[in-house]
Copies of this chain bind each other. A is one copy, B any other.
Amino acid sequence: MMAQNRVREIRSRVGMAQKDLAAQVGVTRQTISLIEKGDYNPTINLCLNICYALGYKLDDLFWVDEGKRRS
């Protein structure tokens, strides 16, 4: 039950490279890469910083598929 996200889609739409987004939110490029890959579970503060950098809100960028929620 890993959260889904639209970070890659929105980032490239905005025309930003991973390293630019990483620099702007204060993490490494690898962290952005792994988040986009969906391989893990960022903290809410990092998610908020990504939202600020891309100009979107939490619910635009992060969600969980209905079927995959814990019961």
Contact = CB atoms under 8 A, between A and B. Distances in A.
A70 B3 contact: no
Copies, count: 2
Interface string A48-67: 11001000011100111010
Contacts of A41: 43-45
17 contacts: A2-B45, A25-B70, A26-B70, A41-B45, A42-B43, A42-B44, A43-B43, A43-B44, A44-B44, A44-B62, A48-B62, A48-B69, A49-B69, A57-B59, A57-B63, A58-B58, A58-B63
A53 to B, nearest CB: 9
A59 B63 CA distance: 9
